[in-house]
Structure 1
Amino acid sequence: MVFETPLLRVSRPVAACSRCRSAKIKCDGKLPACTACERSGKQVECSSTSDQFARGKERSYVSTLETRIEKLERRLQESQHRKASVVAAHNHTNAGAVQKHVSSEGNNRTSKRLEAQEIDDLVSDFGYLTVNATARDFYGFTSSMSYARMVLSACTKDSLPPGFVTPLPPRNEAMITIRHYFENFFVMYPFFEESSFYASIDAVYNSETSRNPTASPFDHFSVRLVLAIAHSGRMEQRGDPNYMAAIGHVSAALAHAEHVLRPGSIASVQAMLLLHEYSMIDPHHFDSWGLIGAASRAMVDLGLHQDPPRSTSISRAKLELRRRVFWCVYGFDRTTSLIQSRAFSFSDDSANVALPFSTAQILVPPDAKDDSNHILFKSFGPAVDLFNLRRIQSAWYTELFQSGRIPLSDPYPLVWRSCEAMRNWFAGLSPSMSPQVRNFFELNLLYSYIYILAASPRMPFVAPFAQSLIFEHCIQYAEKMTSHANERVKTAPLSFYDAMRVYMTGRQFIEVLQGNEDRLLSGIIPDPPHVPIDSAPPPPAPHTPRDFQKNLARSITCIKRLTDCLGLFGLRWGYMSWRDRFQRDTESLLSSLNQRVWKRQDSTNGPARPIWNYSDSTGPLPESMIPPPGPHQHLQPLITPTYPPEFQQSTEFYQTHYNSVIPQTGHQYPAWHEPTGSVGEQQEQLGMPHPRTY
């Protein structure tokens, strides 16, 4: 059977000149005069009537340019008019309401007309956009539809204060701050070359004194954002000097965004990674999910997710940079997806890139271990270890959370195999690794255990043995995070993602303890679920004290430590609502645990008092929790994305630090303020110390 090809009718703009249209003859559209007009000697009359063509589709290139100039002039006039209106409104704030009522009707008509005109202009510009993420549009990057504007408009939360820029510090001070970035962040995510960055520093500071500046926009952008990330990493409280310095550096960096966030180059991906890294520490101004998504799409469009064929001629340095950028995008994407319970930007099957760095770069030379004068002697072993952990996490997260919602008939062979892989990964860490970095990895390991053992779409029911594991891992996580969060000298990155991990760990601790108090507090570990003989063995049973009173005290201490961490992180990042919500969620559980304490004390004729409750938090924070001077919806465990809760900023904060008005939001929430509750002294864990086996 022969299928007839349908006739496709395509509407095209008018292309004939006025004379050919009136004579109804074919016009070849030749410029400056068509062939028919030349033959008849009517070259002067060969012109297109602009009113017969659709706006934005004029036949003449000159007419297109004239239309574009008219648009720009009109936008310039509107911008000047808005600026004048702002000044007038500031100078005449006490104007009468009668005059506003008289002119409101005319202003509404004018605004509607301008809005309709802007929509028409925007629609006409769509024809010049490209479908390729790394291609340039018709007008180039001077268009109002630039790539940088689209990325920033989609990923910006609260606007930065206008005109607030931190001056470039003296070079010796800047180097101290930059070294903090390299020692805390770069060792985990080295997505640019050290030598090229130091060249950018030289160019930026030479441009301050030279008449012929040589610093590129990317040099200014990268140096400023590294300074911003380092200052944010030192921040102890939202609004302190480090926080304000970081805001000023970010504002200075975004002045070069139009020239840096340009698709088609690795530098653009690196710039978005710097913004994403900053958004992990300052969650108020940028959306980390949107930034890593944009960086992932640009990375895939450049082909960085595939190593070039061996027949391709490419330098070793360029290949190394490609691999660095890919694996850092991979690590950021996996971390963000796990934290927010969202899908990955790209799958593991679509990527084929070898790990970066040579053996010499991973292992620190013996004569360079004590040399901290230059960052080039630092080891990239922690970065490779982190990439390997993210790869293991990606495998089980894809299977349990991104492969449908039909429950697995027997999920525990997969769970035990994944736990064994993570256990072997942790056992294979370098013995020369610093204790702080090892503690950072141990926190990631404990959180991964809690994550994979908890309920998921493909494993809706948790076995009693897995509940006991979650119970013990939550207690260990709370203990280690409290110690890590109170360190004054950080040698591993501490971001807002850690606050989200603490909250989700607390939620899992509540879920597993409610309804299973007697069994978990007794210290008796049930048998693991049966799996086939050829499957990976279950994790070793934790060493739990078989003392009801000790486990009761350990549970109360765990709740207190998690509350303390949420209070400290809330003070640092301005999200005290997470601590308050956790207190409300654990109030009934804590009351039940304290009642058990009272019953035990009554039976032994001891003083009837709880170990700890929230009523103890009525004074200021203790000195150990006070820093030195200087989510949209209710969260369900591991299934609903863990967004930070929105809130309305207080007037005092913006007027004090930004000298600006309050940014308006669509929701009204309690104003952010410093907590006024005392968390008391740290309760010592009553269980017997024992070596932990992961």
Structure 2
Amino acid sequence: MNIDEIDAATLMPLETPPLKVSRPVAACSRCRNAKIKCDGKLPACSSCEKNGRAAECTSTNDQFARGKERSYVSTLETRIDKLQARLEEAKARKPSVVSIPDDETAVPSRRQSYNVPALEHSSTGGSRAQRRKEASAIDDLVSDFGFLSVNATARDFYGFTSAMSYARLILSACSKDPLPSGTTKELPPRYAAASLIQHYLNNVFTLVPVFEEASFYGSVDNTYAQDTRKADPFDHWVVRMVLAIASASMSEQRGDQHYLEGIGHVCAALSHAEGVLNPGSISSVQALVMLTEYAMLDPHHFDSWSLIGAASRAMVDLGLHTDPPKGTPMTKGKLDLRRRVFWCVYVLDRSTSLVQTRAFSFNDDSVRVKIPFTKAPAVLPASTNKPGLQKPWVQSHEQALDLIHLRQIQSGWYTDLFQSGRTTWDEPYHYLWQTCEAMRKWFENISVTTNPSMRAFFELELLYSYIYVLSPSPRVPAISPFAAKLIFEYCIRYADLMLRLIDDANYTPPLTFYDAMRVYMTGRQFLDVLQHNTDPLLNGHIPPHPEVKPTTAPPPAMPVVNLPPGDTLQRFNTIRSIHCVKQISECLAKFGMRWGYMSWNQRYQSEAASMLETLHLRLREFDGIVAARRPSMWHASSSASSVTSSSAASQAYRSPQSLTSSSAVHRQPSITAHHMASFGDSGPAPQVTPPLYYHQQAPSQQPPMQPWETQTSFFEPSGGQAFSFGQPVSQPGRSSAHGNPNLQFANWGGYGGASSVPDTLDEENAVPPNAQSWNA
């Protein structure tokens, strides 16, 4: 609107401003000098009007110095001039807002936008679609201005500086250590990038399919096209981030070739951040999700918690947490993309919150989104089970669907146990048994097409969830002996499986920094439950489970392991406990080499020192009793046994490939689809031979056996089966450090734990030693 076209009615509020307008100053200059009361009316106070000094009535403010005040009318005139100048500036800047600048050209400043040629301006607004794009860009620009002050005595808001943008704000808030300069990696040849892309699609994309596979290959084609103008910033971003995530997931040690290549690709992707990280677009949420995936593999440079929080807030702002109402004009492709992006954010947000024991970015009650993925039937009809109808080049989303279902279960019990209050439940175990039963059924119903590596990945998630649910929480601060026994067995299985997956070259799903935190928390919980229940756990007795209503789900069946011939329960469980502590320590050592956090292993060894001392003392007592019962120390069989026992202390951990099927060492059964009966099967099972090593309590002290208490048999895995439980029992060496393992499982405080003394051997750990407290 032109200033000449404004009528008198429009100008009426400016000509006769309200008289009762509050302002931050106490009095005008005349009343302040005369030391009389000033009512502060505008445009002149009552005292100045009464004495004919209305034109001289001025007030001080923070924009003009004392003695150089300007009147209210002059201030409004100055503001009109500024707004007119800003309006002309916005009109001249329209072409530069909607056009995407070249990567090699600098972004013109605000002053330079005055010199935009008229021809370019006329060509920009030619089409209707271009005008809509201009209007959208202007709306985004205006939304960044914030609240413009209209108070005459307040300081004007001149907008953000030229160096501020949404991308810079996100990267500044979510970055930790600065990326090394000069490490940007050139785009590799397409044949070299093909293997990295396939590795990402097979192991990461199957779990978090944040983009459509067809659109991704279109971005690859645009990026590698001879015409560089075909690729937009998002094409460069998604291709570079896929290469970065794949390279980082293949890294075995911080600083190796794969690690450096991942950093090089991330640096190349960040050069396009200004064109990708923009508020109000789904592609920006996709970009943040991919950056979160990389942060889980490189915790030194990016904070995954801040990134997934930014992605969640951007997702909620776009309304992706609810499906659009019926009748909304929207294509099926766009609707599927909305749903796909939401569930990817959901999976990462739940995983991050659980491992760092923080609140969710959004609750499940606000979610109204249908899952866009479906699971193929176990047996396809004969008419559809034809090779010509299958698409082997398209990744299946069945693993992503299984992971979403698990995250939904985890979100439910985490909210109920840790985020819904501090009131203790009187009868908590009917809820805990139902939760464990739901997770057991989930594992039984995972897709039949899941490969062994992904099945092992889900197996780790199941064991970790069992330990998390059964551990002390605000709702259940004191656990029952039966739950303590379950935690004891699940921790041993988790440590055994994790160590073998780390060493197994055939295990392809990436091990992230979250796995290191899970191992540390599991190890602490193992020490805590063992310290408070040393004798009951090592004696091997199964305590009675807490009484629940008959209609409640049955408690989980106790995992059982066959007792080696000639051994005793106490000695065997003592060796298993020592072996578990050593496995957890070795996992932390390997993860420390991978990510540079060596202090975690040192801290855990210090905390486990007192318990290891107790376990070794018990083991020496058991060995002394056995030696006293021998008829002669020179007996041939005794000599052989002593040699075997002494060599066990220095026996190295062997990988699954080195364990033959004929090995006589103890092997723990795997939680596979064939063995799931041991995790909650309520039906009876035949007795196995040799007998189970658990001794039941006397009938007079134990209630009648329930169906779920009947022990089930395990099948010995074949030599070629991957990820089967079992390692040769060895005795770890003593630790000279001392610590207190009596700490809660859920008191995890983030990347850094509590430490009274700074760790001089872990100089790369940027987290302050006392940043978090385990007892908080």
Same fold (TM over 0.5): yes
SS at match of 2:413: helix
For 2:531, the aligned partner's letter is Q
Aligned match of 1:247: 263
Q: What is the Cα-based RMSD across aligned positions, in Å? A: 4.2
**What SS does the corresponding residue of 1:604 show, helix, strand or coil?**
helix
Cα distance, 1:382 vs. partner? 0.5
CA 1:646–1:597: 2 relative to 1, 3 Å: closer
Q: 1:259 to 1:142 in 2, by over 3 A?
A: farther
Separation (CA, whole Å) in 2 of partners of 1:312 and 1:65: 37
Instruction: Please tell me the residue identity of whatever aligns with 1:303.
Output: G
**What residue in structure 1 maps to residue 601 of structure 2?**
579
In structure 1, C-alpha distance between the alignment counterparts of 2:365 and 2:765, rounded to whole Å? 44
CA 1:367 to 1:590, structure 2 compared with 1: closer, same or farther past 3 Å? farther
Per the alignment, residue 639 of structure 1 pairs with: 747
Paired with 2:759 and 2:428, the residues of 1 have a C-alpha distance of: 48
Distance in 2 between the 1:172 and 1:652 partners?
Answer: 41
Q: Structure 1's 147 and 579: CA in aligned 2 closer, same or farther, altered over 3 A? A: same
Task: Write the distance in 1 (CA, Å) between the matches of 2:322 and 2:171.
Answer: 27
Question: Does the Cα contact within 8 Å between 2:250 and 2:510 map onto a contact in 1?
Answer: no
Q: Which amino acid aligns with 1:513?
A: L
Structure 1 residue 622 displacement after superposition: 8.4
Matched AA of 1:599: E
Question: Which residue of the other structure, out of 166, 173, 177, is the alignment partner of 1:158?
Answer: 177
Give the stretch that moved more between structures: 144-153 or 352-361.
Answer: 352-361
Query: Quick one: distance in 2 between partners of 1:335 and 1:222?
Result: 22
Deviations 1:295-329 (A, max 9, x none): 00110111110011221122111111111111110
How far is the alpha carbon of 1:391 from its aligned partner? 0.2
1:466 to 450, 468, 483: 483
C-alpha change, 1:180 and 1:422, in structure 2 (3 Å) is same
How much does 1:12 deviate?
11
Shift of 1:548: 1.4
Q: 1:230 aligns with which of 214, 223, 246?
A: 246
522 and 622 in structure 1: CA distance in 2 versus 1, 3 angstrom threshold: closer
Alpha-carbon separation, structure 2, partners of 1:652 and 1:469: 36
CA gap 1:270/1:461 in 2 versus in 1, 3 angstroms:
same
Separation of aligned partners in 2, 1:292 and 1:361: 33
Give me the whole-angstrom Cα distance separating, in 2, the residues matched to 1:511 and 1:381.
Answer: 37
Q: Structure 1 pair 600/216, CA: closer, same or farther in 2 (3 Å)?
A: same
Aligned pairs for 1:287-302 within 5 A: 287-302=303-318
**Aligned twin of 2:213:** 194
Q: Could you tell me which residue of structure 2 aligns to residue 349 of structure 1?
A: 365
Question: What is the percent sequence identity of the aligned residues?
Answer: 48
d(CA) in 1 for partners of 2:543, 2:462: 23
Q: How far does residue 542 in structure 1 lie from its aligned partner after superposition? A: 2.3
Larger Rg: 2
Label 1:259 to 1:663 Cα distance change in 2 as closer, same or farther (>3 A).
farther
Determine the structure 2 residue equivalent to 1:111: none
Distance 2:373 2:447 in 1: 16
CA separation in 1, counterparts of 2:765 and 2:510?
32
Secondary structure in 1 aligned to 2:571? helix
Matched, 1:502 2:519: yes
Q: CA deviation at 1:7?
A: 10
Please state how far the C-alpha of 1:357 moved relative to its aligned partner: 2.1
Number of equivalent positions: 553
What is aligned with 1:381? 398
The answer on whether the counterparts of 2:753 and 2:769 sit within 8 Å (CA) in structure 1 is no
User: C-alpha offsets along residues 264-294 of structure 1, whole Å, 9 cap, x if unaligned?
Assistant: 0100000000000000111110000000000
- What amino acid sits opposite 2:224 in the alignment? Y
Q: Structure 1 residue 594 and structure 2 residue 616: aligned?
A: yes
TM-score w.r.t. the length of structure 1 is 0.72
8 A Cα contact 2:193 2:243, kept in partner? yes
Out of 503, 522, 547, which is 2:539 matched to? 522
1:309 and 2:325 aligned: yes
TM-score, normalisation: structure 2: 0.64
* Contact preservation (8 Å) 2:424, 2:474: yes
Q: Specify the alignment match of 2:31 in structure 1.
A: none
Take 1:299 and 1:380, find their aligned partners in 2: how far apart are those partners? 22
Q: Are the counterparts in 2 of residues 407 and 459 from structure 1 also a CA contact under 8 Å?
A: yes
Local SS of the residue matching 1:128:
coil
Instruction: Look up the match of 2:448.
Output: 431
1:205 has 2:205 as partner: no
Contact 2:430–2:553 (Cα < 8 Å) also in 1: yes
**Deviation at residue 611 of structure 1 after TM alignment:** 8.3
What amino acid sits opposite 2:572 in the alignment?
Answer: K
CA distances 1:322-345 after superposition (whole Å, capped 9, x unpaired): 111111100000000000000000
Structure 2 residues without counterparts, runs of 5 or longer:
1-17, 26-41, 44-52, 57-72, 94-107, 113-141, 149-156, 564-568, 628-637, 657-740, 771-776
- Residue 187 of structure 1 deviates from its aligned partner by 0.2
1:47-85 CA deviation, whole Å, 9 max, x = no partner?
x9789958x99344259969x99xx99999xxxxxxxxx
- State the AA in 2 paired with 1:304: L
Q: Which amino acid aligns with 2:192?
A: E
Q: Secondary structure at the match of 2:580?
A: helix
Instruction: State the alpha-carbon separation in 2 of the partners of residues 666 and 342 from structure 1.
Output: 18
Cα pair 1:192 1:321 within 8 Å, conserved: yes
- Paired with 2:301 and 2:292, the residues of 1 have a C-alpha distance of 11
Partners of 1:545 and 1:275 in 2: CA distance:
46
What are the within-5 Å matches in structure 2 for residues 94-493 of structure 1? Answer: 128-129=145-146, 143-206=162-225, 209-210=226-227, 213-359=229-375, 374=393, 376=394, 378-493=395-510
Is the contact made by 1:361 and 1:380 (CA closer than 8 Å) also made in structure 2? no
Q: Which residue number in structure 2 is paired with residue 554 of structure 1?
A: 576
Matching residue of 1:58:
82
Distance 1:664 1:474, change over 3 A: closer
SS in 2 for 1:393: helix
Deviations 1:112-132 (A, max 9, x none): xxxxxxxxxxxxx9992379x
